[in-house]
A = this chain, B = another copy of it.
Amino acid sequence: MAHLTTSVEYGIHCLLWLVESQAPPSSRDLAELQGVSPAFLAKIFPKLEKAGIVTASEGVRGGYRLARPAETITFLEIVDAIEGEKPLFDCQQIRGRCALFQGTPPAWSTDGVCAVHAVMLQAEKAMRAALASQSLASVHAALGRKAPPEFTGQVQQWMSDRLSGRRPGRTARSSEPSG
């Protein structure tokens, strides 16, 4: 199992589709476009909404949009929104439990950050800096260079066809079929 969950992968790919979507898709539209579980995606979007990465509009034409320009949304923000700022390492302060201290660790043994924890914080900082250096826009551009020019139009047509088939009563957040 990897450190980051499948939710991160699915969440990022959904956001990449939103970069140039015209009509706002629902999480179900995005699930069907990508061949993934609608119920699974429906749990990711509220986290992205809470973090100010997407906004939802209600009604028959409602759906999700990026809340901000894709250039300002970093991979680090997306990972933190979905995973909840999970630290690399959770220091249990084992250094103060040495039997020689007999339950009363001297100040020198627990002052400052433990040297082991300090290494882990450096590694975490390096990882987070790499994630912060990439935006949704930069990765969208990299993906766009691989696709043929007509692909964007085909996706927009697929989205538009979905939207025109919608029935009243659905919401952007619904994971139920709309019609």
Residues of A in contact with B (beta carbons under 8 Å apart): 1-4, 6, 8-10, 12-13, 16, 32-36, 75, 86-92, 94-95, 97-100, 108-109, 111-112, 115-116, 118-120, 122-131, 134, 139, 142-143, 146-148, 151, 154-155, 158
Contact = CB atoms under 8 A, between A and B. Distances in A.
B158 A120 contact: no
A75 B122 CA distance: 12
A35 B100 CA distance: 10
Q: Which 9 A-B pairs have the closest CB atoms?
A: A35-B97, A2-B90, A127-B127, A123-B130, A126-B126, A115-B142, A126-B130, A3-B3, A119-B134
Copies of this chain in the oligomer: 2
Contacts of A75: 119, 123
A125 to B, nearest CB: 8
B3 A108 contact: no
Nearest to A13: B94
B9 A88 contact: no
Contacts of A130: 119, 122-123, 125-127
Contacts of A118: 142
Nearest to A94: B13
A118 B133 CA distance: 13
